[in-house]
Amino acid sequence: MDAKMTFSAQLRMVVDNGSLENCPVRQVMQGIFGKWSTLLLLALAEKPYRFGELRRLVPDISQRMLTQTLRDLERDGYVYREVYPTKPPSVEYGLTELGYSMLKPLTGLVEWASGNFEAVKEARDKFDRAG
Amino acid sequence: MDAKMTFSAQLRMVVDNGSLENCPVRQVMQGIFGKWSTLLLLALAEKPYRFGELRRLVPDISQRMLTQTLRDLERDGYVYREVYPTKPPSVEYGLTELGYSMLKPLTGLVEWASGNFEAVKEARDKFDRAG
DNA sequence: ACCGATAGTTACGTGAAAGGAACCGCCATG
DNA sequence: CATGGCGGTTCCTTTCACGTAACTATCGGT
């Protein structure tokens, strides 16, 4: 659906629907732009992981933020959570179809960022020097 | 450059480079994910606008946030700012080449969000009902 | 009896981001 | 002479995302 939209059509999607607070695009994007969301989605894109594996894979994340971010991603339907009744119980996280589908445009952005951060860095330095 | 990257290669881009604080991908993405950034970039994609025109186009933004967001986008090289010595002086904002280049992957995400917010909404409702 | 690993939850604190309101200089118009 | 539009800046407050630390429960091993 909506295969190609003009910029102004997209703008209207973002800006309309009454107040901006209720804007559907904003509501979806906010769930993706958390500090750890992209990182975890990329990790899970490779293969499903268990909670502890994710902790070791992303050492800077706290236990609390890992739980919370995974819950948020699960709530939005990007990630599934499966509990195996082993002892001690193990919990597997992985991407849903919706998650994979969303990851495609998201990785487009990640690739752009990793390919262009030099240009952005230069722009920043130039701007700051012009001060 | 980096035409195709595996997920794990992307993950390494995000997670490596020593501490996450210095991660280049994160540094670039944070400049894009502000509350008003996407909205303004989409607006400027249509055509250059003056400060006051942008205010009227995005009525919910405060003067302060409009100035600040435009400055941030200018600093990162996505937006140019041109002052015309009319009276009173008028200031035009528009996308740079870098801005247009970044907007392509970004609109991919916006299109995904506008096409799939129903699915996300359903996932949220289902999750919340399951309690 | 105690320690570590599993996968969390709860309470509390903090800094960055965002919002609100007022103020600024300049000029043109009524 | 003062009012309004232009393009901001400054100060103050609030909100929220994120962080730290401690606590939970169950089981296996030593």
Q: Which nucleotide lies at the shortest CA–C1' distance from B87?
A: C27
Query: Which pLDDT score is estimated for A23?
Result: 87
Query: Which pLDDT score is estimated for B5?
Result: 75
Nucleotides of C under 7 A from a protein CB: 4-11, 17-22, 25-28
Query: Which pLDDT score is estimated for B78?
Result: 98
CB B67 within 8 A of CB B129: no
- Distance from the Cα of residue A62 to its chain's centroid: 17
- Distance from the Cα of residue A110 to its chain's centroid: 10
Does A10 have pLDDT greater than 80?
Answer: no
Distance separating alpha carbons of residues A17 and A14, to the nearest angstrom: 8
Which comes out higher in pLDDT, residue A103 or B3? A103
Nearest to A127 among B29, B75, B115 (CB): B75
Name which of B57, B46, B48, B38 is nearest B102 in CA terms. Answer: B38
Give the pLDDT band (50/70/90) at residue A125: very high
Distance separating alpha carbons of residues B25 and B32, to the nearest angstrom: 11
Query: Which pLDDT score is estimated for A105?
Result: 97
In this structure, are strands B79-84 and A90-95 parallel, antiparallel, or unpaired?
unpaired
Query: Which pLDDT score is estimated for A16?
Result: 58
Query: Which pLDDT score is estimated for A2?
Result: 53
Dihedral angle sign, alpha carbons of residues A9, A76, A97, B109: positive
Q: Give residues with Cβ within 8 angstroms of A114, minimum separation 6.
A: B2, B5, B10, B13, B24, B25
Residue A34 phi, psi dihedral angles, 5° rounding: -65, 165
Q: Is residue A85's beta carbon less than 7 angstroms from any atom in nucleic acid strand C? A: no
Query: Which pLDDT score is estimated for A7?
Result: 72
pLDDT, average across residues B69-90: 95
Query: Which pLDDT score is estimated for B6?
Result: 81
Give the model confidence (pLDDT) of B82-121 as tens digits: 999 888 899 999 999 999 999 999 999 999 999 999 999 9
Give the pLDDT band (50/70/90) at residue A20: low
Q: Hey, what's the torsion of the CAs at A64, B27, A28, B55, to 10 degrees? A: 130
Give the model confidence (pLDDT) of B10-33 as tens digits: 767 666 555 566 789 999 999 999
Which comes out higher in pLDDT, residue A7 or B107? B107
**Percentage, residues of chain B above pLDDT 70:** 88
Q: What rounded mean pLDDT belongs to chain B?
A: 90
Q: Give residues with Cβ within 8 angstroms of B120, minimum separation 6.
A: A27, A28, A31, A76, A77, A98
pLDDT, average across residues A115-121: 96
Number of alpha helices (DSSP H) and beta strands (DSSP E) in chain A: 6, 3
State whether B114 and A27 contact (CB < 8 Å): no
Name which of A46, A118, A32 is nearest B11 in CA terms. Answer: A46
Residues of B in contact with A1 (CB under 8 A): 115
Query: Which pLDDT score is estimated for A101?
Result: 98
* DSSP structure string for B36-85: THHHHHHHHHHS-EEHHHHHHHSTTS-HHHHHHHHHHHHHTTSEEEEEE-
Nucleotides of D under 7 A from a protein CB: 5-11, 17-22, 25-28
State whether A114 and B10 contact (CB < 8 Å): yes
Query: Which pLDDT score is estimated for B42?
Result: 94
Name which of A118, A41, A114, A119 is nearest B2 in CA terms. Answer: A114
Give the model confidence (pLDDT) of A44-94 as tens digits: 999 999 999 999 999 899 999 999 999 999 999 999 999 999 888 999 999
Query: Which pLDDT score is estimated for B13?
Result: 66
Residues of B in contact with A12 (CB under 8 A): none
Give the pLDDT band (50/70/90) at residue A116: very high
